[in-house]
Every structure is written in C-alpha cells, then in structure tokens.
Amino acid sequence: MRTDSRASVRTGLDLARADGFSFLKGRRVGLLSHAPAVDAGLNSALGILTRAIGDQLKVVFTPEHGYFGYAQDLEPVALGADEGGRGPRWVSLYGNCFDSLTPRGEDLKEIDTLVVDLVDIGSRYYTFQASMLYAMQGAFAHGVQVIVLDRPNPLNGTALEGPMLEEGTESFVGPYPIPTRHGLTLAELAILYKEELELEGALEVIPCQGWRRGLFLDETTVPWVMPSPNMPTLETALVYPGQCLLEGTNLSEGRGTTRPFEIFGAPWLEADRLADELNEHGLPGVTFRPVTFRPTFQKYQGKICHGAQMHVIDRAQFRPVTTGVAVLDLARKQGGDHFAWRTETYEFVSDRPAIDLLFGSDRERLALTRGEGWREISQAWEEEVADFRLQRKGYLLYEE
C-alpha cells in the first residue's frame, strides 16, 4: 500500500476549531479573512467561525481581491460591500484610496477581538501581510485584541532572498523593511511588526502544529487554495517573488494567460533570442522556453506577445528574485526604447515609480538603467539577507 509521505500539519484554524474557539467566549468578534482560508476539510474560516460563535461575529473585513477573490489586482472593492448577505457586516479593506486599507474606528467600535486568518505566499509585496499590519495598528489604537491563526509559508521558511526595503520607502507593497522573500509566516510577521514598530496592544498567535521551516506547502497535508485571481498554483507562487517585478514595467507578467507570472513578454521582444539568452546565463534551478501568447486582459489585451515561459526544474536551487532581475536586465536590453518603467499610480502612490516600491528603493532601477548586470545587482543583497536572518531569529515559531 502506498503511504502519504507528506508532513501532517494542522493550521491555526484547525487547532482553533478543535478547541471550539473557547478563547472567544463572550467576545465581540471581527474576522479579517477570505474564502481561501480553509481548514483541512476545505471548510472556510468564516463558515467555521459563524457556526461556532453565531452572532458574536459582528464584522467581516476583507483584503485586496475581496472575500471571494474575484477582483483583479488594483481593482477597488467598495467599502461596506455586503458580499455575504445576512449576518455580520462586511467591510472591504481595499477601496479607492490609501485610507481604505485600515479599519475605520466606527467598524472597530463594534468589536473587542479581531481574528486574522489570511493565506499568504511569503513575498513582501503580496499585500495580505500589509493588510494584517494595518489592521493590527488600527485595532490596537482602539483597544481591540488581535489573534492570528497561523498557516505555513508555502515557499518554506528557510530560503530568504532579495533586497531589503529602505526606511522611508514604505507602501502597501512594502510596509516594513524585510527582504522580498522573507521566509516568515503571518504570525511570525505579526510578532516582528509588533516588537520592531513598538506597537502597544494585545497580540495572540495560534501557531501551526507539525510544520517545519524547510517544508514547501505541497510537502504538507495543508491544501492549496488559490489566494488571488492570478495565483492559481504553488508553482505560480514560487516564481512570484521575482516576476511580480514586471508589474513595474511595460512587460506583460502573463496576466490574461493560464500561466500568470510564469509566462512573460511583450509585442516587441524576440522570443527565441530572449529564451536563449536567459538560458545561456545559467540561472540556478530554472530553464526558459520561447513562447508567443495573447493576453485576454490587462497589458497588451488581445495583442500578440513574444517572450518566454520559465520552468522551475529544481526549486531548492531556484532563486526567484535573482531570476526576475535577470529577466528585467535582458528584456530591457533587447527592448531598447520600447522598454519602459511604469509611471502610472501604483497601489495609491503616484510620486515614485512602481518598480521602486517593489524593489524597496531606487537602487536596482538605477543600476539596471546604468547597464549593470543581474549578478552584480543580486550580490548586493547577500549581506542584507544575512543580517535579516539574524534579526528575525527572535520571532521564529518553528524549527527547521
């Protein structure tokens, strides 16, 4: 008989459900969550909590993409949208302005406890962890306790990579100085943020049981549920820490295809040449195949694009952020005057280029503009990542 070799892992939600949510007895509760936050049986956190505590659940806060995850990136979800029909009041934390990202005082007055259960993918610019931080800040300011139900980092908790965000360049895609691929869970981030930002308030976390830092999500029994419209698979999440950088350019990052972030290109690139050049650079753990595609929405909608698809062949060796910089480097050089950095407002910021928000400073953009190669650029992160590895030690909940 074939046995399941995956590690048996119970999330914070699984453990809270087994306990019957006894820690919420007599509390007025708010929930920051979305449909992808499920237990081992694929039951949603909202459904489980509603059945457990009934009308004690007063408010449901939803992150970017809305509760059901159908809204595209940068698409506002109306404040006060009632996505759930009868029951608790629904409040979107992704509206049409920066202030909409933080719970309002009038919403927090209804509760004394905020439960957070969000599916993150271990990348600084994936916005759910910023929503958690802003919700913590708002809750603490109104005397509301925060309880984080933890989940594994799907990309594992040992691999760190990418530049540190510089102080003064914080935004919704980078609320605090950490590397791009930070290797922390949401609960660990919550502890780090509370300590390092000196937030005053009551924070409790319910860690996972059975997760080890070296495990990818598919090496555990925790199910993968796509957390946003363009994050369909764990393979997508694996390349995202590098390929999201393309959002700061006029390159298509593959939105509008069935393999977002894995496929990339533009009408003015040469697919064979780009794939060959990327392969010649010997990037670890990945190979490239030339592709021609036509996005069905967003950049170059309906237009033929040429580029490449990245195929990760060794995820232990693969370095997504370094690979993303190599893609930018070679595509920019091939594109010449066709290539451009994004100048439109991005995540409510209009006075800095989107690429600077994603990198966390202007350092990498200026280096690429000067013609520096991806090797030199990525080498500059090594000391920063080593320092952060030491910095985060006091916040770790799980062993390797």
pLDDT at 189: 98
Tokens linked to 388: 């952060």
Segment 362-385 mean pLDDT: 96
pLDDT reported for residue 400: 81
Q: How confident is the model at residue 188, as a pLDDT?
A: 98
Provide the pLDDT for residue 86.
63
Cα angle 122, 125, 127 (rounded to 5 degrees) comes to 90
Q: What is the mean pLDDT of the chain?
A: 96
In the chain, which segments carry CATH 3.90.1150.140? 234-361
Q: Over 80: is that where the pLDDT of 261 sits?
A: yes
Q: What does the alpha-carbon distance between residue 129 and residue 331 come to, in Å, rounded to a whole number?
A: 30
pLDDT surpassing 60 at residue 138: yes
pLDDT reading at 221 higher than 80: yes
Backbone angles phi, psi at 66, to 5 degrees: 80, 170
Phi and psi angles of residue 164, each rounded to the nearest 5 degrees, phi first: -80, 140
Orientation of helix 234-243 relative to helix 320-335, angle to 10°: 60
As a residue count, the chain comes to: 400
Q: Is the pLDDT of residue 83 over 80?
A: no
SS3 86: coil
Q: Which residue has the higher pLDDT, 86 or 198?
A: 198
Mean pLDDT value of segment 276-289: 98
Model confidence at 85: pLDDT above 70 = no
Amino acid of residue 183? G
CATH 3.40.50.12170 intervals, the chain: 12-228
pLDDT of residue 167: 86
The predicted-structure confidence for 143-195, as pLDDT tens digits, reads as follows 999 999 999 999 999 999 999 999 889 999 999 999 999 999 999 999 999 99
Evaluate if residue 80 carries a pLDDT over 70: no
The three-class DSSP label of residue 31 is strand
Q: Among 116, 185, 155, which Cα is nearest to 318's?
A: 155
The hierarchical CATH code for the domain 12-228 is: 3.40.50.12170
Which pair of tokens denotes residue 238? 């694996």
Residue reference for tokens 């007055």:
109
Q: Which CATH architecture has domain 234-361?
A: Alpha-Beta Complex (3.90)
Residue 81, pLDDT > 50, answer no
Q: Could you give the CA distance from residue 191 to residue 179 in angstroms, rounded to a whole number?
A: 16
